Amino acid sequence: MRAVPEVPAVPDMRAVPEVPAVPEVPANVPEVAANVPEVAADVPEVAADVPAVPADALVVLVGPAGAGKSTWAAEHFTPTQVVSSDACRAMVADDPTDQAANGDAFRLLHAIVGARLARGRLTVVDATNLQGAARRPLRQLAARHGRPMIAVVFQVPVEELLRRNAARERVVPEDVVRWHASLVPAALAALPGEGYAAILEV
């Protein structure tokens, strides 16, 4: 009988080839944005220790020269939130004490205050604001734009005002300081009838 040749083995068609291993991510590749700092982490809270100041309010400082209004405002608010009559006089006349520039300076102040209130920005007016005629345009701007008002009144004994004034770089005449101090009681009496959401005494 003739020998039957061997039949070659049929390969198993079901065999699945090995999938190459996925390489590990190199250990030295940093995570995306792992070192990006938080946005505005160093921006201080505005008026953190001033009670109940709405974010769109008009804050009117009321007090004599030398009462500490500018210092207080700088401690509680950001520079862009404070609109100062001294700064406006300096802008229009290169001299923050030039009383002859008051007309132009206060037109500028009112324009800035109005623009900020129209945008709903917290605005602090740093001026003496001891007389009703000085506060009236500010009240009208707040009413026009539907913004709440806060009054902050600075009561400082006249002797202390004069001491502080003498130590200032720009000294205000003594008779003006005394006149300012004499206006504080009348201002305090008038403020409750002017529509302020709150009146703070410092």
> Does residue 96 lie in a domain region?
no
Burial class (CB in 10 A: 0-12, 13-18, 19+), 80: exposed
How confident is the model at residue 27, as a pLDDT?
46
The pLDDT, as a whole number, for residue 50 is 61
> What 3-state DSSP class applies to 60?
strand
Position 153 in a domain: yes
> What's this model's pTM, rounded to 2 decimal places?
0.75
Mean pLDDT by 10 residues, the chain (202 residues): 46 42 42 35 41 91 97 97 98 95 98 98 98 98 98 97 92 95 98 97 94
**Residue 184 belongs to what domain range?**
58-84+121-201
CATH of the domain at 189: 3.40.50.300
User: Could you tell me if residue 8 is inside a domain?
Assistant: no
What's the pLDDT score for residue 58?
A: 98
Domain count, the chain: 1
153, 191 contact by CB (below 8 A) = yes
Q: In this structure, what token pair is assigned to residue 145?
A: 């734009």
Residue 73 lies in a domain: yes
How many whole angstroms separate alpha carbon 201 and alpha carbon 185? 12
User: What's the rounded Cα separation, in Å, for the pair 39 and 94?
Assistant: 37
**The two structure tokens encoding residue 115:** 């623009």
- Is 157 inside any structural domain? yes
Domain assignment present for 133? yes
| Digit-coded pLDDT (tens) for 28-45 | 433 433 333 333 333 334
Residue 20, domain member (yes or no): no
